[in-house]
A and B are shown apart, each in its own frame.
Chain A
Amino acid sequence: MGDMILRLTGLEKRYPNGVFAVRGLDYSLEEGGIYAFLGPNGAGKSTTIGMICGLCIPTAGKMEFRGEDISKCPSFYRSSIGVVSQHGNMELDLSVFQNLKIHAMLYNLPKQYYLKKIDELLQVSGLEDKRDEKIRALSGGMRRKVQIIRALLHDPYLLILDEPTVGLDPASRQAIWDILIALRRTGKTILFSTHYMEEAHIYADSISIIHQGRIIKKGTSETLIKDLGIWCRIEFIGEEKRIDFFSSHEEALSANDTSVDELIIRKTTLEDVFIDLTGKELLT
């Protein structure tokens, strides 16, 4: 990974109703990486992303883009990021093309450029026949793709996605990730939030586990699992169901419980890390 692209220092958000959604966040992104915010509902993922995008005003803290305070160059910063927000913020009665065209004009892109780019991106994502369809007539997966295309139209350095695959079927999720992976190869930096473990595990170079407004752990999928110090997880299924964790091969072998009917043994996963840290289970 390359140069520092975005740095957050002591970022805080206390909503007017008193909810302390983000409590002092220090975070930085390097160019070319894929970063994940992993956390349960209400952890503060959207609030953090909102602050990074300027859709939510921090109550404390600092944000720098390439070493420059973003409040000093708001217009440059806004054209350097692409945002895919959790709610599909598109004009439902306008067509795909109209939505994209308005975006291109808002970002002052030259007409020859954006007409070509729109066709190209629609093609890549298999939406060329939906060009003149109203957003209202598209499925959730298609809408999300249009949102991503729109966020990429002005060729931002940093793409920010808030739960890009939530509510989509496996095939649509895969299609979205295919687009994002291809994008990463062009050197773009990607920040996404999710509560799908395996997405963070497979795609992210760096995972931050967010809980109650704090990053409680950060690392690669491998280091997070290693740091947990657990070698495997055994589910004992008999009269009752019991789950135990073991830090070594030997320890696991010694746990012979003859009263059970079935044993399910598996290596530690990111999910175990998550449960260990937050005490919460995430459904994947």
Chain B
Amino acid sequence: MRLSGQLQAFCAVYLRGLIILKMRAIKNLISFLLSPALYALAFGWGIGKDLTVEGMPYLTFMIPGLIALSGMTQSFSIATEVNISRFLTHFFEEYLLSPALGLTIVLGNILYGMTKGLCSFMAVLLIGLVFGAVPNGTIAIILPVLLNSFMFAALGLWIALSVKTHRDMTSFQSFVITPMSFIAGTFFSLESLPGIFKVLTELIPLTHSSITIRAAFLGEQVATYHYVVLIAYALFFLLMAVRRLRKAVS
């Protein structure tokens, strides 16, 4: 198939995602809003009311962290859907049987993950506004937000295509994704960590998302190297997902 054919196949994969997203619109809306709202309520209002971090109200510090965290969770969640279609409905076979390139199928799914990530970004922004965290940056914040979603959608696909059962997927979530959400500069400043831990957090992809997203949210400058790391991770996960695609069979 030529490029136009790949483009149409890409649209097919994305279309399936959009239909599902629209069909579960209400449920999705609640899931985009609920957990960030709870975090904002518990930590932002409850515990962190009179707290300042890096010279700003805790809530203002936390909202960009939540954008990164929610973006990760929502984009990564396509992994669960891929698992359902691999092990339960077997719909994934439809992709594997098709003449489309592995890259095409992977990118179509990633765009779906990114769409979910983008929805969650808007949801968290809204919650921030309700709780009084007004962004100070420009629309440029969209860049790290999209990179973050791309990266975790690609990671989700890679993992979903590598596991042998749905249970392995759940383990990955509780051993990798959940711990990552707390120690990646989302809820507390990494400045306060002792040296060795600080170096370790640098290895976590989400750390660079929260740093870049926070800087963009506050309208501050940030070292380009964080973007380089994000792009490197994104490309690596993409490559691994593509390599796994046609091997995700028995």
Q: Which residues of A contact B (CB under 8 A)?
A: 15, 50, 53-57, 74-76, 78-79, 83, 85, 87-94, 98, 101-103, 105-108
Contact = CB atoms under 8 A, between A and B. Distances in A.
B49 interface: no
A56 B9 contact: no
Contacts of B16: 91, 94, 98, 102
Given A105-B15, A108-B9, A89 B89 contact: yes
Contacts of B37: none
A85 B247 contact: no
Contacts of B96: 54-55
B21 to A, nearest CB: 12
Contacts of B1: 75, 79, 108
Nearest to A94: B19
Contact of B94 (A93, A101, A103): A103
B136 interface: no
A76 B99 CA distance: 7
Contacts of A87: 90
Q: Is the interface of B mostly helix, strand, loop or mixed?
A: helix
Contact of B12 (A15, A50, A88, A102): A102
Contact of B11 (A55, A57, A76, A105): A105
B99 A55 contact: no
A88 B89 CA distance: 8
A90 B89 contact: yes
A78 B247 contact: no
A106 B12 contact: yes
Interface of B: 1, 4-5, 8-9, 11-13, 15-16, 19-20, 23, 85, 89-101, 246-247, 249-250
Given A102-B16, A108-B4, 10 more contacts: A57-B249, A75-B99, A78-B98, A89-B90, A90-B89, A98-B16, A105-B8, A105-B15, A106-B9, A108-B99
18 contacts: A15-B250, A54-B96, A56-B249, A57-B249, A75-B99, A78-B98, A89-B91, A89-B93, A90-B91, A91-B16, A94-B16, A105-B9, A105-B15, A106-B13, A106-B100, A107-B98, A108-B4, A108-B8
Given A105-B8, A106-B12, A54 B246 contact: yes
Q: Which of B9, B12, B15 has the most CB of A within 10 A?
A: B12
A55 B250 contact: yes
Contacts of B23: 93
A79 B2 CA distance: 13
Nearest to B15: A102
Q: Which among A57, A88, A89 has the highest number of chain B CB atoms within 10 Å?
A: A89
Nearest to B16: A102
A106 B85 contact: no
Given A56-B249, A91-B16, A78 B99 contact: yes
A275 B101 CA distance: 45
A83 B1 CA distance: 19
Contacts of A15: 250
B97 A91 contact: no
A76 B101 CA distance: 11
A76 to B, nearest CB: 7
Contact of B247 (A57, A74, A90, A101): A57
B193 to A, nearest CB: 42
B181 to A, nearest CB: 29
Given A108-B1, A108-B4, A55 B12 contact: no
A39 B16 CA distance: 37
Nearest to A110: B8
A54 B97 contact: yes
Given A57-B247, A75-B1, A91-B91, A83 B11 contact: no
A54 B240 CA distance: 20
Given A57-B249, A91-B85, A98-B19, A107 B94 contact: no
Contacts of B4: 108
A274 B37 CA distance: 66
Nearest to A150: B94
Contacts of B90: 85, 87-89
B97 A55 contact: yes
| Most chain B beta-carbon contacts within 10 A, residue among A91, A105, A106 | A106
Contacts of B246: 54
A224 to B, nearest CB: 31
A109 B143 CA distance: 35
A53 B249 CA distance: 11
Contacts of B12: 101-103, 105-106
A87 to B, nearest CB: 5
Nearest to A75: B99
B99 A79 contact: yes
Q: Which 4 A-B pairs have the closest CB atoms?
A: A105-B12, A108-B5, A89-B90, A106-B98
